[in-house]
Amino acid sequence: MFCTFKKFRNHNFILLFCSIFLVSLFIFSPSIEAQRDEATVAGIWTFDDGSANDTSNQSLNGVVVGKPKAEKGIVNDALRFNGTSDGIQIPDSNRINTGGPFPKRTVAAYFNCDDVNKNQKQVIFEEGGRTRGLVVYVFDGKIYGGAWNRAEYNWQGEWLSTDIKSKNWYHVAVVIRDAAGKVEKDKFELWLDGKLIDTADGGQLHAHGDNNGIGFVNQNVVYHDDGGAGTNIDWFGGLIDEVVIYSSSFTEKEILELTEALTVEPQGKFTTTWAKLKEHRSLH
C-alpha cells in the first residue's frame, strides 16, 4: 500500500513539474520573433548604442547628420534630434527603394515630438521622391502618414492623419497591405499605438531612387499640401526610437506586439513598454 501511494505521489509530482515547465516556455518564449517574417526585413534602427547602425541582418547602417544625442527612450536609448540640423541618412537598398515593385510595406517607430504645433513639417521617416515614395511626419498637431506612386498606374497619393500632443510618446505605423499595380480600396493604413486609425485607397510602390532619411527630408517627398520638394529640410525636433522597415504587411497582432513589447531585439531583451508609455502620458 505504501509503495503504491509513493508511486502515485511521484507520478503527480512529475506531472506537476512538466506542467510548470510547459507554462514557463509559453510565457518566456520569444513569440514576437517567431511571428514576424524576418525574411522581409529591410532595416531596424534601435539607436541603443547611440549610433545609426542597422541591427537587422541587412546591415544597412545609417549615416549621422549633425549631432543627434542618445537619451533614454521607450526601449533603452533613443536619439534626440534638435529640429534644425540632426538626421540619419539611410543608404539605398533594394528592399526599400531601388528594388520593387513593393506590394507590401510596414514602417513603424516610436516618437516623442517637442512641439507638434511648430509651423513646419517634422519628418520622422521618408523614402522615395516626388514621383514615388512614403513619408511619416508631424505637422499642425497631427501625425501624418502618406504614400504615392504617380507613374506606372497614377496613384496620386493618400495622406492619413490623427491628433497628437507635444512631449508624449507614441508609436506610429504605416502599412501598404497586399497592393497591386493599380489603385484599390483600403490598401494604405495609418496605425497609432496599436490601433488602426484610418484606411485609404492605394497601390504598390515601384522603385524610387531618391534618398531615404530618418529625422528629416534627405531628398524630396510629397506632403498632404503637395509641398516637400528639396533636400536637407523639415527636421524633426524630439526623440525617435525603434524604427523598423519590412517588405511585408504586418497583421494587427504584429503591430500590437510592436507597441506593447516591441521586438525581441538581437541582444535578446524583453521589454514591456506599454505600461511605460501609459505611465509617461499620465505625467503630462
Q: Would you say 115 and 195 are in contact if contact means Cβ atoms under 8 Å apart?
A: no
Residues 115-124 have a mean pLDDT of 97
pLDDT value for 75: 85
Q: Would you say 203 and 149 are in contact if contact means Cβ atoms under 8 Å apart?
A: yes
pLDDT value for 159: 98
What confidence tens digit (pLDDT) does each residue in 75-85 have?
899 999 999 99
SS3 234: coil
Domains of the chain and CATH, by start: 39-282 (2.60.120.200)
When pLDDT is cut at 50, 70 and 90, the band that residue 17 belongs to is very low
Predicted confidence (pLDDT) at residue 13 exceeds the cutoff of 90: no
Predicted confidence (pLDDT) at residue 44 exceeds the cutoff of 70: yes
Enter the C-alpha cell of residue 189: 493604413
Q: Of the candidates 176, 76, 170, 75, which has an alpha carbon nearest to the alpha carbon of residue 124?
A: 170
Enter the C-alpha cell of residue 80: 534626440
Predicted confidence (pLDDT) at residue 172 exceeds the cutoff of 80: yes
Q: Of the candidates 104, 114, 106, which has an alpha carbon nearest to the alpha carbon of residue 136?
A: 106
pLDDT value for 12: 52
